[in-house]
Amino acid sequence: MIISFSLLFPVVFKNAQQSHTFQQMLKTTHLQRKKLLKKLFKALYLILLTIALVIVMQVFLFASFEVPTDSMEPEIWPGDFVLVNKLLIGPRIYNNLGLFNGSITPYKRIKGMHPIRRNDILVFDAPYLLLPGTLNAQTNLFYIKRCIAIPGDTFFIENGFFGIKGYQQPLGNLLQQLLLSQTPDETISKHIFNCFPQDSDNHWNIKDFGPIYIPGKGDAININVNNIAIYRPLIQYETGKTIRIEGGSVLLNRESIENYTFTRNYYFMAGDHVANSDDSRYWGLLPEDLVVGKAILIWKSTDPFTHKFRWKRWMKRLK
């Protein structure tokens, strides 16, 4: 019996050793799995943090836009990628998710570093898209133009040159305006020559335009049948009501109005390439609501035909 017990003992010992080895393997596998999960959670955290930072930068700080047209030549060329600073005039915070389907949405603008100035190059939601003469901007299509006139200005065009009553500094690209002034009227097609508001009282064109007062928040102006074509889109945009003329009177819905106080700031925008730019000369004034920010830099540039980098235009400051 003693000999039999001693013969069995090594077998029991061996089984115990195998069990210990198996437990060690399980423990090692558990630690490896724990380390792997820790790495995955860390990677996921970094990815989410990066996405959050990008969203914050896009909403509050900067945005990038590719320019497809020549309306801002010679300052900005097709194929230029511009960096837009939102802090200067203040970023927009939307109150709902309507911006994802391209509709106009309520928003609040955080106070910026300074107000919009004359000659600032701005990126904004394209206005007056769906129905001419009606402010119906979409938030998924953008324009880039130069701000020519700001609230309180009385703007005009005389022989192709931009002007503001009481202001003597250059506005826009003077060379392009000179070239336009020297172009015979009969050589310009009618759809380019004739301008906003294209009614029987205001026969304005790209060489002889205005004068037009640019309203700002709190400005009260007289409204009559002679100027309602200019301000109709703005008043309808602010009130959501319909304007019509009846018996020599201007009616807002069914009520007669002789003056109106504006609740927003407006701007006159124009491209530097004045002979080929869809801007305020054709669709009217731009509400501040639609401004995304100020373009400050061309950070990258590619030729739209060859797709080659135009290195000399990289990191070019805009003027």
Given this model, what pLDDT does residue 10 score?
Answer: 45
Chain centroid offset of residue 32 CA: 49
CA dist 81 and 76 (Å) reads 9
What are the pLDDT digits (tens) for 93-111? Answer: 765 554 444 445 556 788 8
What are the pLDDT digits (tens) for 59-102? Answer: 667 899 999 999 999 999 999 999 999 988 888 876 555 444 44
Find the mean pLDDT for residues 255-272: 96
Given this model, what pLDDT does residue 133 score?
Answer: 74
pLDDT at 115 over 70: yes
What are the pLDDT digits (tens) for 165-199? Answer: 999 999 999 999 999 999 999 999 999 999 999 88
Decide which of 40 and 217 is more confident. Answer: 217
